[in-house]
Chain A
Amino acid sequence: MSNIKEQKKSIEDFNVVDKENYMAPNAYIYVLLPSGNSKIVQLKPNCNISLGKFGSFKANSIIGKPYGITYEIVNKNDIKLYKNYTFFDDFDIDGEVTTINNKDLNDTQTSQKLSHQEIEQLKKELLKGEKNSENVIQTVLDNSVTFEAKTEFAKAKYIKRKEKKFTKIFTPLKPTAKLLCEYYLEIKPSKIRELRIDTLSQMMTLANVHAQSNYMVVEDIQGLLLGAVLERTGRIGKVLAIHEHSQFNGNILPSFNFDEKEFNESVMTYSWDRLLNPEPFKQDKLELERVIKYLETTPKEEINEKLVMKKERYIKRIAEGEKIQNFINENKFDGLLIASGFNTIDVIEKLKPYIGGSRAIVAYSPYKETLLETYNYLRNSPEFVNAQITESWMREHQAKKGRFHPLMSMSGSGGFLISAIRVYNTPNIQPISSAIVANKLKRKREALEKLENEPQKKVTNIEESSESVETPNTN
């Protein structure tokens, strides 16, 4: 029956208007598996999608369907709706805490009568679709010596565990910043600098990320931070991503399924080289001139087609770059978000002219030590207020009837955030606290200088150089 060849479909054959809630052809989906594991796959039309030991299914069978429905794989790679939604959930597997104890349970290898080979055989038959998961689980239970002696709770827990091992069900979900953050933290934590979801969420709040505003992003975590910002702004407003090398590295970005047009209108990527260069396009323009000159002076038949394309490329690149540079010159940004391997002080120093007054900056680091000097810098800078360093802490609890408690293992640290608000200093006002701080710093500096230039120099009068200071109004 599965030999009947299905008609090949192209993207146009699927009519998906609401890409937010329905799976479009070539969309990335986050597949939740019964084991609690997950997988990110692209729904290429006419392709088979493999879920490893849970089997495989045809992409065409779910394209156009809403996200969030649970399916069961039947036969080889057919699917049907899985209506038993409580499957993932074992809230009240007989919640009463019973008096049956484990005094008769011994820790031996003999409690399961089936051999390892026999179980592997069952798994194979299951994968081929020759047996269904209920048969397999029943066989495993029938051969368990200790099963009957278990408490009702333990029995239910045991069945649940076996179900999760053998049931071939899956739920395609829309990949969101939250799911992608959790996914990459699990599989490639170093790629996203161990950024945890609660910390990422706090960055959005601290930088006041919302639609109709412009943000600056400095990140080298594969586009996760940029994607999270774009998700929250809804691509309404501009986001400027500053990158090193020739282009922004955003491996995770495609998984967000952003509409290409929206994305291109909202995102600007610009390199440090250009941003810090007073004449960012001088080199390109010289190169372009050279190419144009060559093209003009060379007879047509000798011109290489590639060179004409090169000319077009230069023109496009300069035009796009100048558009971005103009935007940067004409607008102040509404927030700066940093998650990178650069020294945070350097990034802030370089980018603060572009950040609007009363707008926030927030930087993430997995290491507190890298933020301490930044904190001192922000505290002592007259251009920032409200500087704070926080570490995020998160704990999940088991939420089961009669058995509420924190999970036995947890993430040790969510990393550190530093944030502050950009303000404009008015130099001629220097009263109260800042005057005291300034004096303190000055004394400290002078003490240090004194030590360095031992011993002859005398401390100069502190009041002398800061004449504008009014009598400090100490509280």
Chain B
Amino acid sequence: MTETKDNIETEKNTLFKYYSKDNIIKYGDIVIAYVTPQSMSSFKVEKGGIYNNRCGSYKHDDIVGKKWGTKIATHTGRGFIYILHPTPELWTNVLPHRTQILYLPDISFISMNLNLKPGDNVIETGTGSGSFSHSIARSILPTGHLYTFEFHEERSKRVRQEFLEHGLEDIITIQCRDASKGFGLKDCIDAVFLDLPAPWDAIPHTIECFKQNKIGKICCFSPCIEQVQRSCASLHKNKFINIRMFEVLTKPYEVRSFSYKPIPEIKLNNNDDIMEVVEPTQTTAIELEPSKVFNLTVSRSATSVRGHTSYLTFADYPKFNDLM
């Protein structure tokens, strides 16, 4: 048993290039331990390693050789986890939150509006926790490149390490740099994403980065309307066009089953004069019309949902210097 496991090579884990035909978990893989949507964490599978959660502990050696998505029991058999393959979004759920992160509707909408696709070259700043960097990398691989800039030195070091562990070093270049001083890139960028407290400082520097003879795409991500106003002014001043601003959110729904309460019925007794109020119990109501009481599937949005993340400002820079 252990012999076959040793035969499974310890390969360098890559978040995206992992997908071997047999779909098997190997030593060195980073996995997501899924308990519930609210309770997930990640760890790296190592020889002899133990993963603990509140239900008990799990031996890494039990996981190796299993298919992704397999349910794994604790060694006592009392609790279980599902071993999921990390995606950028699952990773977002488990990463140590060092900064505010982007949520799925924003990630999706930005990627679509910047028209991210394999082969694109993208600038992102600031890197933050590297959450969106993973999503961008996913969309532009295998031939695209992400240049991400983080002002905070300690943070950039930590994220660089993370990219390395996830096998993303060929796709992502991270630099510790103040974006308001420029990016040091020329005529090679398809799209720019600015998640900065003062995007207007960086906007003028993006122009030289964009590819020639193409419309360069930009997105500014700011939580406050005052930031949006200053960004828009800067975009306009720097001759960006089609300035449009959006908010996107998703509303999660809870699904329940619902049964109506029956109205009390009044029945006449044998003796016509005396009336009796029959308080229907659940059972009597079911006896009457079972279909009406059961099987009503209803849904409602949660009492408290996310109401605002950030404003998304998009604009185009037509860079046709050669032709004009």
Contact = CB atoms under 8 A, between A and B. Distances in A.
B294 A202 contact: no
A15 to B, nearest CB: 15
B138 A210 contact: yes
B13 interface: no
A212 B141 contact: yes
B262 to A, nearest CB: 15
A210 B55 contact: no
Nearest to B135: A205
A395 B108 CA distance: 15
B281 to A, nearest CB: 13
Interface in B70-91: 70-73, 77-80, 82-85, 87-89
Interface string B208-223: 0000011100000000
A426 B70 contact: yes
A386 interface: yes
A391 B250 contact: yes
A176 B294 CA distance: 47
Nearest to B71: A426
Contacts of B311: 397
Interface string B98-125: 0000001101110111010111000000
Interface stretch (B3-11, B175-183, B227-235, B270-278): B227-235
Interface stretch (A143-151, A227-235, A242-250): A227-235
B118 A234 contact: yes
Interface stretch (A113-121, A298-306, A351-359): A351-359
Nearest to B21: A331
Contact of B243 (A89, A201, A206, A448): A89
B68 A357 contact: yes
B67 A394 contact: no
Contacts of A356: 23, 68-69
A201 B251 contact: no
Interface in B230-273: 232-233, 236, 239, 241-253, 255
A86 B241 CA distance: 6
A475 B54 CA distance: 9
A388 B252 contact: yes
Contacts of B72: 426, 429
A56 B70 CA distance: 61
Contacts of B142: 211-212, 236
Contacts of B215: 67-68, 173
B88 to A, nearest CB: 8
Nearest to B298: A372
B80 A385 contact: no
A422 B23 CA distance: 13
B286 interface: yes
Given A201-B108, A202-B108, A388-B252, A66 B118 contact: no
Contact of B71 (A197, A386, A425): A425
B42 interface: no
A89 B73 contact: no
B28 interface: no
A423 B35 CA distance: 12
Most chain B CB within a 10 A radius of its CB, from A65, A83, A233, A391: A391
A236 B19 CA distance: 14
B85 A358 contact: yes
B248 A394 contact: yes
B57 interface: no
Contact of A432 (B21, B80, B89, B135): B80
Interface string A355-378: 011111000000010001101100
A432 B76 CA distance: 13
Interface string B132-156: 0001001101100000000000000
A83 B324 contact: yes
B318 interface: yes
A204 interface: yes
B299 A368 contact: yes
Given A197-B112, A395-B247, A388 B320 contact: no
A102 to B, nearest CB: 25
Contacts of B318: 68-70, 85
Interface in A191-236: 197-198, 200-202, 204-206, 208, 210-213, 231-234, 236
A457 interface: no
A391 B34 CA distance: 24
B71 A424 contact: yes
B78 A431 contact: yes
A66 B228 CA distance: 31
B16 A198 contact: no
A360 B68 CA distance: 12
Most chain A CB within a 10 A radius of its CB, from B247, B253, B290: B253
Interface string B12-53: 000011010101000000000010110000000000000000
B251 A391 contact: yes
Contacts of B301: 391
Contact of A401 (B34, B37, B225, B233): B233
A231 B109 CA distance: 15
A394 B110 CA distance: 13
A421 B89 CA distance: 12
Interface in A388-415: 388-397, 399, 401, 404
A178 B112 contact: yes
B108 A205 contact: yes
A311 interface: no
Interface in B282-301: 286, 290, 294, 297-299, 301
A155 interface: no
B1 interface: no
A21 interface: yes
Contact of A393 (B139, B245, B248): B248
Interface string A63-88: 00111111000000000010101101
Q: Which 9 A-B pairs have the closest CB atoms?
A: A357-B69, A234-B118, A201-B112, A358-B69, A201-B108, A358-B68, A68-B215, A390-B250, A91-B236
12 contacts: A91-B232, A197-B112, A201-B112, A205-B104, A357-B70, A358-B84, A368-B253, A368-B299, A397-B247, A423-B82, A429-B72, A473-B78
Given A213-B19, A401-B229, 12 more contacts: A89-B242, A205-B111, A206-B104, A208-B138, A211-B118, A234-B119, A356-B23, A379-B255, A396-B244, A424-B70, A432-B55, A432-B79
Interface of B: 16-17, 19, 21, 23, 34, 36-37, 54-55, 67-73, 77-80, 82-85, 87-89, 104-105, 107-109, 111-113, 115, 117-119, 135, 138-139, 141-142, 213-215, 225, 228-229, 232-233, 236, 239, 241-253, 255, 286, 290, 294, 297-299, 301, 311, 313, 316, 318, 320, 323-324
